[in-house]
C-alpha cells in the first residue's frame, strides 16, 4: 500500500458503544510488539533453542507486527539467532530484521517487523546447524462482526481487513493503551476500497484514544467509517492531597505536608546534598526532585513515591544545572526548564509519567535563571520571571502546551523579580507566583495569579514575610502553600494559600531553616 493518508476524525459520540454491543469481541489483545524469551539448552542431541521455555517452538508471526527474540540470557552466548528461508540455512532472510548487542549479554536481541506477504521462515543459529524451528507468517486479518483491542504501546502495526465483504459487515478497532498518537495503526484494505479510495492508498490512524467503527457499503465506496472518534478524553487523576519540601542549603533533608497543610518534622536526607534545584509532580501521585548545585552543577534526580519516600539518586540525563524551575503538564508528565549551566540557559527536559527524565530540548524563549513555574489549565504549565543574562530581573513568561512544547516569550505582567516560587491551586486550573527579589535586590511579597488560560494577572499586595529562593506546592486537593526561603537569613515559615488564591499570614516554621529548596505534591490519600 502507498499513497496519501486518510484519517478522518468525526466528533460525534455514543454510536460506537451502541453498535459494538452486538459484536463479538476478540478474546485477546492484538499487541504490536511481542517479545519471545530465547534460551539455549541440550536435550540430548546437541544445543537447541527454547522459545518461552518450549523446545524449538513453532512460532506464529503476524504481518505488520513486530517480534523481538530476546537473547540476553547467558545460555545464548555464541548462538546468534537469525532468520532463513529454509531450515538448512541456505538463504538468509533479512527483510525487516535487526539485531542488537551480543547474545548472552543484557539487551541482546533479534527483531523482525513482519513484511506483507512474508514467506514461511525458519529461525536458526547462524553459527550452528539444527538449533531452531519454524516461524509461520500470516496476515492479521480481522473478521466482520468482531471488535478488537489494538495495543501499540511499543511500536506501530498493520491491521488487514477481510479480502471479501458484504454490505453491512462491521468491524470495530479500539486503541487499547491510548498510544496510537505515538505509534499509529495502518489499515490494509486488502484489495477492497476504503472511503472510495482503492487499496493503493494508505489508511492510517494517529490519534490516541481512537475507536474505529467501519461498515462495508459496496464495491464503489468499500469500507466507510461509521465513526472514527476519540472515545473519551484522557482520564483525569484525582487531585493530590499532600506535599513535600526537600533539599536546599544547610544540607537539609525533607519535610512532609499533610492534607491539612501541616508541615512535619525533618526527614533524613536521601541522596546528594544540594540546593537551587527544582521539583514537580509526575505520574499522578508521585514527585521528582532534580538538578541543582552540589558544589557544582548537578544533573541527577530523586523520585518520590506515593507515600512521600524519596528514592536514591538516579544518574544525570541532560545538562547539569542549577537555579531552574519545574512543573507538571499533560497527564502525569513534568518539565524542568531554564537555569544556569555555567551560563544562563533556556533548555528544557521532559519527564515521562514513569519519572524518566529525557535528554535536553533546545531552548525556546529568553534564557534565564531563578525562574519559577507551575501548572495551569489542568494540563499545561507556565515558566515566568527570573534573571536573564543582562543580570536584571525580568517579567517574561513562556507557556507550555499539554504536549510539553514551550512557546515563545510573552511580555511580562507585574513586578520584575527573581527567586520567586509558584504553584497551582483551586479546582479550575489556576496558578500563583509569589515572593522573590525585585530588580533592586529588595525582598518582596507580591503575588500574581495565573488564570486557567495562562494569563498572568496584575500584582496583588502580599501577606507574610517578604523573601526569595523559597518553594511552593499544592496540598489538600485545591489549596497550596509557600515555604522557607531567605531574607537576610534563611527562614522556616510557611504561608497557606486557600482555594481562591488568598495567601495567609506566616505560620511558624517546622524543620531546618533553608533556602534554595524545592517542593512537589504527592499522594491521592488524605
Domain ranges of the chain: 5-23+145-230, 30-139, 242-522
Whether the pLDDT of residue 28 is over 50: the answer is yes
Stated as kind and residue range, the H or E segment containing 18 is helix 15-20
Region of 180 please: left (phi>0), alpha (psi -120 to 50) or beta.
alpha
Q: What is the pLDDT of residues 156-206, one digit of tens each?
A: 999 999 999 999 999 999 999 989 988 999 999 999 999 999 888 888 898
Q: What is the pLDDT of residues 442-484, one digit of tens each?
A: 999 999 999 999 999 999 998 899 999 999 999 999 999 999 9
Judging by DSSP bridges, how do beta strands 24-25 and 146-151 pair with one another? parallel
Q: What's the confidence (pLDDT) of residue 316?
A: 84
- Gyration radius of the chain's alpha carbons: 28
Q: What is the pLDDT of residues 70-129, one digit of tens each?
A: 999 999 999 999 999 999 999 999 999 999 999 999 999 999 999 989 999 999 999 999
Vertex 236: Cα angle to 233 and 238 (nearest 5): 160
Q: Under CATH, which number does the domain 242-522 receive?
A: 2.120.10.80
> What is the average pLDDT score of the chain?
91
User: What mean pLDDT do residues 290-310 have?
Assistant: 97
Q: Output the nine-digit C-alpha cell for 457.
A: 494577572
CATH superfamily of 30-139: Cupredoxins -  blue copper proteins (2.60.40.420)
The model's confidence at residue 521, banded by pLDDT at 50, 70 and 90, is very high
Query: In which order are the strands placed within the sheet that holds 447-450?
Result: 421-425, 430-434, 447-450
CA distance 256 to 245: 7
Q: What is the pLDDT of residues 422-437, one digit of tens each?
A: 999 998 899 999 999 9
Q: At the topology level of CATH, where does 5-23+145-230 sit?
A: Jelly Rolls (2.60.120)
Amino acid at each position: 500500500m502507498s499513497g496519501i493518508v486518510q484519517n478522518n476524525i468525526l466528533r460525534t459520540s455514543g454510536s460506537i458503544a451502541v453498535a459494538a454491543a452486538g459484536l463479538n469481541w476478540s478474546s485477546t489483545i492484538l499487541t504490536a510488539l511481542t517479545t519471545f524469551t530465547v534460551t539455549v539448552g541440550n536435550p540430548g542431541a546437541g544445543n537447541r533453542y527454547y522459545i518461552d521455555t518450549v523446545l524449538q517452538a513453532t512460532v506464529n508471526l503476524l504481518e505488520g507486527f513486530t517480534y523481538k527474540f530476546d537473547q540476553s540470557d547467558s545460555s545464548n552466548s555464541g548462538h546468534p539467532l537469525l532468520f532463513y528461508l529454509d531450515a538448512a540455512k541456505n538463504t538468509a532472510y533479512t527483510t525487516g530484521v535487526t539485531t542488537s548487542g551480543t547474545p548472552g549479554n543484557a539487551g541482546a536481541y533479534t527483531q523482525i517487523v513482519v513484511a506483507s506477504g512474508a514467506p514461511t521462515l525458519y529461525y536458526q543459529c547462524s553459527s550452528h546447524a539444527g538449533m531452531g524451528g519454524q516461524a509461520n507468517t500470516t496476515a492479521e486479518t480481522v473478521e466482520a462482526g468482531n471488535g478488537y483491542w489494538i495495543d501499540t504501546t511499543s511500536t506501530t502495526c498493520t491491521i488487514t481487513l477481510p479480502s471479501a465483504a458484504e454490505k453491512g459487515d462491521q468491524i470495530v478497532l479500539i486503541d487499547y493503551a491510548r498510544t496510537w498518537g505515538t505509534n499509529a495503526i495502518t489499515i490494509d484494505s486488502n484489495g477492497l476500497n476504503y472511503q472510495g479510495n482503492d487499496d493503493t492508498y494508505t489508511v492510517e490512524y494517529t490519534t490516541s484514544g481512537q475507536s474505529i467503527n467501519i461498515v462495508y457499503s459496496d464495491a464503489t465506496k468499500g469500507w466507510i467509517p461509521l465513526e472514527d472518534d476519540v472515545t473519551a478524553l484522557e482520564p483525569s487523576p484525582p487531585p493530590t492531597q499532600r506535599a513535600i519540601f526537600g533539599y536546599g542549603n544547610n544540607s537539609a533533608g525533607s519535610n512532609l505536608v499533610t492534607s491539612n497543610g501541616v508541615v512535619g518534622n525533618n526527614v533524613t536526607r536521601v541522596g546528594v546534598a544540594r540546593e537551587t534545584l527544582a521539583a514537580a509532580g509526575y505520574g499522578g501521585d508521585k514527585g521528582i526532585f532534580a538538578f541543582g548545585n552540589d558544589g557544582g552543577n548537578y544533573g541527577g534526580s530523586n523520585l518520590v513515591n506515593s507515600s512521600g519516600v524519596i528514592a536514591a539518586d538516579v544518574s544525570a540525563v541532560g545538562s547539569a544545572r542549577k537555579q531552574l524551575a519545574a512543573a507538571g503538564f499533560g497527564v502525569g508528565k513534568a518539565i524542568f526548564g531554564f537555569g544556569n549551566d555555567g551560563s544562563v540557559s533556556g533548555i528544557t527536559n521532559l519527564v515521562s509519567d514513569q519519572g524518566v527524565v529525557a535528554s535536553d530540548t533546545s531552548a525556546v524563549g529568553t534564557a534565564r535563571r531563578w525562574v519559577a513555574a507551575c501548572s495551569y489549565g489542568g494540563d499545561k504549565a507556565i515558566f515566568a520571571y527570573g534573571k536573564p543574562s543582562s543580570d536584571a530581573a525580568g517579567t517574561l513568561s513562556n507557556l507550555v502546551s499539554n504536549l510539553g512544547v514551550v512557546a515563545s516569550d510573552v511580555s511580562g505582567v507585574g513586578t520584575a523579580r527573581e527567586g520567586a516560587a509558584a504553584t497551582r491551586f483551586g479546582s479550575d486550573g489556576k496558578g500563583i507566583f509569589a515572593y522573590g527579589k525585585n530588580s533592586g535586590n529588595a525582598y518582596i511579597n507580591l503575588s500574581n495569579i495565573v488564570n486557567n488560560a495562562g494569563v498572568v494577572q496584575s500584582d496583588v499586595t502580599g501577606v507574610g514575610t517578604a523573601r526569595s529562593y523559597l518553594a511552593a506546592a499544592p496540598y489538600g486537593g485545591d489549596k497550596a502553600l509557600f515555604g522557607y526561603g531567605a531574607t537576610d537569613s534563611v527562614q522556616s515559615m510557611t504561608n497557606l494559600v486557600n482555594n481562591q488564591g488568598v495567601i495567609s499570614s506566616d505560620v511558624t516554621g517546622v524543620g531546618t531553616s533553608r533556602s534554595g529548596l524545592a517542593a512537589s505534591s504527592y499522594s491521592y490519600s488524605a
